[in-house]
Chain A
């Protein structure tokens, strides 16, 4: 007897991997494998993965990451782009070789700067997901880095068996294992690794984002072109690198727009994701991805045509790119460089030695 298709079917798995249901099934009906049922449970008829993907795409593209924000004009906007790039480079390297205190200081500094320099709507939309991601990385690394017991045994015998006294407990309350409950264990090594990974992830993403939102792409390119000048002696085509970077920065915004337009198109059509099921959802997502690339290639083609119509003939060295920016160091830049030297000095003084120490 066939069960009513609308009635939920309880599924259980036996040790042999076979599945059984609480309802009677006819012999001629082929039972699906366990993995199929599990997958169906997650992504099948009950799924709303498509809806969630579309919602998150719309949310993400609402506040595009790395797009220049011209107002309000802050001190960061006024800084020379070369100084900003040196700071950016330092902030990406420092967390790896600093102590926990310095890492917390650096992360707090970037967090505070983001909140001060960006409009509230932007920093809330950008920092929220980033803080969640970094917290997740921190927790997972802290609990798993040193939490799994070693399968191999140490080769040397325990100290009492070779006639040596037991290692005395550390003075000053030193403990390698900081927290232990059931299978969860946080050690000093795990905590350091977690703080290093999470702070690096945060610094790489947020400091780059902060630099991009307070510096026009043209300023960034002008600065990069200045740093790359020595390569001209080696006959490196710096003009081509600069133009490529400019076009890719222009294209970043177009990608966000295109993704947003496609997602809006799908949401506006009111797709019934439940009815589509796993196969239908996958099929639609693949179709959308294809459409996205098709649209982006068409956009690239049109922009290339516009460049030709505006006199570009394919040789960046023959077509001067006016970046409308003048690189000039002011008092603010000198102060920023002194501050960087101070941060570097503190980090060097507090640098993490080879012996693990908090």
Chain B
């Protein structure tokens, strides 16, 4: 990583490296397809997300949003470029059923703390605090089977918070949720970022109506980040793209 690197996003002051929670530069990544061919998914993606902000990552299907997120979480290895992320970081999956590992909410939130070998009382305190931040303080003993999709997502976010994560990587959390759950999860994330000092969230989404909740946004196309800045700017950019697509029909 170059130490002299500085970032400037439109409307923002120049950012030093230490101000960034996520710093991605010219990252390339290839995956093996079903026919065993190597397919390049990320073709030099570059992105910088400042600390303590909620950013959204948008783009058409197959542009590499989720792949970039998995590379940031360390679930996929990138082949080129540089990638830095504040630690500890947590990844929340698209399908809430895949994220929740334990049978009850409280035990699931505590699962990620297993590697830290903390005293039982400390674990209980962290679990209760985290569940309260996402608005589920009374759900410690609830079976995850009886929770809605949005509630499971919030349990997953609470799990990340209990680990004192500095970065939350959120992969299309609202895909399977109804409108009420969608708002609940968005508010929980917004609450986390504003209440917990220094916590950053990068949220992959398709839904433009979620943009007003964000502090910043980036738009990806064909494995690259083609635009980043404030949410209004990204919304206008997407609007222009949609008009062009309609005109071409």
Contacts and interface: CB of A to CB of B under 8 A. Distances in A.
Interface in A292-348: 299, 302-303, 305-313, 318-324
A216 B163 CA distance: 23
A324 B103 contact: no
Contact of B103 (A217, A302, A319): A217
Contacts of A69: 143
Nearest to A300: B98
Contact of A324 (B75, B106, B146, B163): B106
B124 A324 contact: yes
Contact of A299 (B73, B98, B146): B98
Interface in B112-147: 112-115, 117, 120, 123-124, 127, 140-146
Contact of B93 (A68, A256, A302, A319): A302
B97 A218 contact: no
A130 interface: no
A357 B111 CA distance: 55
A247 B103 CA distance: 8
Given A216-B103, A217-B104, A324-B127, A306 B93 contact: yes
A70 interface: yes
Interface string B183-208: 00000000000000000000000000
A259 interface: no
B103 A253 contact: yes
A250 B95 CA distance: 16
Contact of B114 (A70, A299, A321): A321
Contacts, number: 110
A254 B104 CA distance: 13
A321 B111 CA distance: 6
A68 B117 CA distance: 28
A218 B140 CA distance: 12
Given A319-B115, A321-B114, A302 B98 contact: yes
B110 A318 contact: no
Given A67-B145, A253-B144, A310-B112, A323 B98 contact: no
B102 interface: yes
A319 B97 contact: no
Nearest to B95: A302
Contacts of B114: 311-312, 319-322
A246 interface: yes
Contacts of B127: 322, 324
Tell me whether chain B's interface is mostly helix, strand or loop, or mixed: helix
Contacts of B73: 309
A248 B8 CA distance: 50
A58 B91 CA distance: 34
B140 A324 contact: yes
A248 to B, nearest CB: 10
A92 interface: no
B110 A306 contact: no
A257 interface: yes
A319 B103 CA distance: 17
Contacts of B145: 64, 67-68, 253, 256-257
Nearest to B99: A306
Given A67-B145, A67-B146, A322 B110 contact: yes
B111 A310 contact: yes
B31 interface: no
B97 A254 contact: yes
Contacts of A310: 90, 101, 111-112, 159, 163
B75 A322 contact: no
B107 interface: yes
A125 interface: no
Contact of A322 (B99, B123, B146): B123
A311 B112 contact: yes
A70 B95 CA distance: 24
Given A216-B143, A320-B114, A322-B123, A246 B75 contact: no
Given A68-B104, A320-B113, A324-B127, 15 more contacts: A70-B143, A216-B141, A217-B102, A246-B103, A250-B103, A257-B145, A306-B100, A306-B101, A309-B90, A310-B111, A311-B114, A312-B111, A312-B115, A323-B107, A324-B140
22 contacts: A64-B145, A67-B145, A67-B146, A68-B145, A216-B143, A218-B104, A218-B106, A253-B103, A253-B145, A256-B145, A302-B97, A305-B93, A306-B101, A310-B90, A310-B159, A311-B115, A319-B114, A322-B114, A322-B123, A324-B123, A324-B127, A324-B140
